[in-house]
Structure 1
């Protein structure tokens, strides 16, 4: 029996490949495989299409158009690395460059200048890399009385727009002196003690932001001063008038000598001025 079955087994083995081609295909499996292949090819094509042929990347940032005047101080020197500009990421990302880094352009070889436009080229590149999301100096961090002067000063120092990058690339002491002068010239004495131009500048350039100035508290103070300047003189004048009337009455009834009356009148006037003048000029 085994010998008779051997030719049949050999024949079936030889026909198996042919029979397999005649079986209906598993359409579900084949369709799923084809879909996966198409999706993989589409994703690969999308990745290739988003990157220009000559695009140069630094992490996730396209530096193909990075200003050549700043390349040596920023790119080649590694000053543009995440750790150098204040981020914890392993590579330079858009979030790091445009949002988290307090002073991402601190590597610039120079600040604003009429003689060289490298800084302005760098700012333009940064704006493009961040889709125009450039952090500005917030007016709310400055007393209202000094805001206009401060922004005019930044413009005179070379900042075409009051960006945080431009503020922080300027010399520290010139900024502190200029903003302090704006406060001294335009704000009340009380304001000068409640705002520090040095702390304001350092907070922005070290942490990326400064706290909003408490304008409401200052406005309440100004209202109190206004009310005091009106109320106190009125009260003092009324008291002085009452005293003067008393002196006059005594003189008219010969109960007080003329010299004594004159002395009292002078004393009343001096006391009134001693109360009113400090309030008018000191507050």
Structure 2
């Protein structure tokens, strides 16, 4: 019996290592080839670079107009995340504490909205926003709020259900308003799920190409839009594109590194409770 358990653990470990290698292989290809010349990439994609070519990063930084693109990406990402967190947490709190059928129906609508792909509403959405002159950064933030609220409300709703209603009642007896109860008592207890919502939406919004390409002009282009500069009709500058991608993922990796301890706890709080 003990031997069977050891064999099972061994097989699970080997399977985990294999899955990890498969998952990490795109990152290996990106980072390794970012230090190669175009000739070396086409000569051998999998091989390690014979000499490290740091000039790719310098040229990609210039061609991307990286400071401007980074500023645009930060404005869009940070503003969208703040809007999603504020409105989704308040909506989830209201829906969770209100036990009426209408609240349940509204919550189900939000959950069902997660199944609707963006591509199915893309054309009418852009058409409507174009008629009201909202094809700009403000319109993009509004769209991200709409598309990001469903999953965020679902996670917040599950977490709020795990907080006893007696806390609300005790605060009301002390004379606190609903606004004070939520922001001073409930919201601080939602820190793990807030971090989870932030990470999930940062990864999506930071890397999104399709929606900004339909809304933003070149002047306000984010990093994914600027990355298209390296892919022309007749040539593709893979060495510069991969160097640019390596630079672009650094902010997300840093955020994830500092917030990773909250993510698993946040997902379990939102999905299980």
TM-score under structure 2 length normalisation: 0.23
Higher share of residues assigned helix: 2
TM-score under structure 1 length normalisation: 0.23
Greater RCO (Cα-Cα under 8 Å, separation 6 or more): 2
Give the structure with higher Rg (CA): 1
